Chains A and B, each alone.
Chain A
């Protein structure tokens, strides 16, 4: 196990490339299904759901890295976190663009009304906006520029963002909340683990 704690750079590069390609699978599948007209009677709705689902999934995967690193001692895991977080942002962009272009087709009045009047869109849109500074500062230069401590503080926005994303999903579902419940359960688990670490550290 000892040799798993650190990886040499060569292996890490290959690992990153693999993760990058794996993370593109949902998009590839979606593109193929669009091309084959395989998305059912309401493809726009389907594209919205798929991109939203993967945004939440990548947010949760990103939040899994730190506890997993502590659990396993695999320090290199943290080197994948940025990539995964940026994929969360990437799918969020696709999700938002789907809403903007395919669903609303730039109907700004209707979009403004949605954001103000519909709580699930208010919270989803806010989460997306908050994600933008995180994505922009996801590089070494920004860390140097902002300073490590303040950068870390900024990146903590990931917590309200992910909570907002899950609430967004929960509030839009008409009746069957099974899926939002699963996301909420996993997120709670990840948050509780963090509380546990904070608690044991302070002791």
Chain B
């Protein structure tokens, strides 16, 4: 198994201790979690995840406060305002939940979410999240590399791309009652991107089960790409030979490309990507190539014209 070293981050960005350990909230959550544990063994949003390997990086960007991470979301399945998902996502039922993995694989399989949670050791990963709208956050996600799941299903030689399909159920996801995007939400990666150790199959954040508005019960996080590439509430993963077309590519082909790597040199059709506002900051900061993960991922795109393959 490959161990992976996360890129170092400036010490000036270390989180103040009290922000990280909001004791009061932790105590409340712990009390709530242990109470629920008496009655059921299913894992619900807000509960602490057990046996998580804490992030060992001594240097980290200042974490975006939990409240901002969970109330400022782009998740159009629950409405297009940033506050909509936190208000409306209560209708999402995350149990029972299965993820079908199919297509160019030797062992297609339907995974139950609780089975998936035990597939590989959970670890914490502190990643920057750069939205295509030029704001960013820093989030302590919990999950394991998507590669661990893919190994189980044995992709064939024809598996050149991977497609993620999110839940389509307007009863649970009221935003799907309007045709804002072509539902279900579809996203995709090249297979080498999907197998990259930074690509995280994510089930939690801030030590707890993923809140519904953040893509519960299971989502992908691809930290060197714009946020919309990281599909939420996934029900199906398909390995395919041809490059899939994502919902955003259908919505605006000249604005949203398949790759959508964070790139300060390639502007969105209607706004600049050179800078971003880290939530909580007043001044904008320069956006980093590949969102600062260039050392890890730049070689995936060697020789490619990134302004054409945006």
A-side interface residues toward B, CB under 8 Å?
A: 40-42, 44-45, 102, 104-105, 107, 110, 113-114, 117-120, 171-172, 174-176, 178
Q: How far is the CB of A121 from chain B (nearest CB, A)?
A: 8
In contact, A41 and B180 (Cβ under 8 angstroms): no
Residues of A within 8 A of B64 (CB): 41
Decide if B196 is an interface residue (CB 8 Å cutoff): no
The stretch that binds A, out of B20-28, B48-56, B75-83, B211-219, is: B75-83
Residues of A within 8 A of B282 (CB): 44, 102, 105
Other 5 A-B pairs with CB < 8 A, given A105-B284, A117-B272, A120-B270: A40-B83, A107-B284, A110-B274, A171-B270, A176-B76
The residue that A113 contacts in the complex, of B251, B272, B284, with Cβ under 8 A, is B272
What are 16 pairs between A and B in contact, CB < 8 Å?
A40-B68, A40-B72, A40-B83, A41-B82, A45-B135, A104-B284, A105-B283, A107-B284, A110-B272, A117-B267, A118-B272, A174-B133, A175-B76, A176-B80, A176-B180, A178-B80
**Complex: chain A residue closest to B251, CB-CB:** A175
For the complex, give the distance between the alpha carbons of A104 and B284 in Å: 8
Residues of B within 8 A of A172 (CB): 270-271
Total A-B residue contacts, Cβ distance less than 8 Å: 54
Most B Cβ at <10 Å: residue of A41, A42, A107, A118: A41
In contact, A42 and B277 (Cβ under 8 angstroms): yes
Residues of B within 8 A of A45 (CB): 135
Decide if B71 is an interface residue (CB 8 Å cutoff): yes
In contact, A44 and B274 (Cβ under 8 angstroms): no
Decide if B153 is an interface residue (CB 8 Å cutoff): no
What is the interface residue range for chain B against chain A? 20 to 34
In contact, B181 and A118 (Cβ under 8 angstroms): no
Most B Cβ at <10 Å: residue of A42, A113, A171, A174: A174
Residues of B within 8 A of A175 (CB): 76, 80, 180-181, 251-252
Residues of B within 8 A of A107 (CB): 284
Interface residues of B in 254-310 (CB under 8 A from A): 267, 270-272, 274-275, 277, 279-280, 282-284
B-side interface residues toward A, CB under 8 Å?
A: 64, 67-68, 71-72, 76, 80, 82-83, 133, 135, 178, 180-181, 251-252, 267, 270-272, 274-275, 277, 279-280, 282-284
Residues of A within 8 A of B275 (CB): 110
Q: How far is the CB of B250 from chain A (nearest CB, A)?
A: 11
In contact, B72 and A41 (Cβ under 8 angstroms): yes
For the complex, give the distance between the alpha carbons of A40 and B252 in Å: 28
For the complex, give the distance between the alpha carbons of A118 and B272 in Å: 8
Given A40-B82, A41-B72, A174-B133, does the pair A118, B279 have CB atoms closer than 8 Å? Answer: no
For the complex, give the distance between the alpha carbons of A143 and B64 in Å: 54
For the complex, give the distance between the alpha carbons of A113 and B273 in Å: 12
In contact, B72 and A114 (Cβ under 8 angstroms): no
Q: How far is the CB of B165 from chain A (nearest CB, A)?
A: 19
In contact, A114 and B270 (Cβ under 8 angstroms): no
In contact, B277 and A119 (Cβ under 8 angstroms): no
Q: How far is the CB of A41 from chain B (nearest CB, A)?
A: 4
Residues of B within 8 A of A40 (CB): 68, 71-72, 82-83
Q: How far is the CB of B264 from chain A (nearest CB, A)?
A: 12
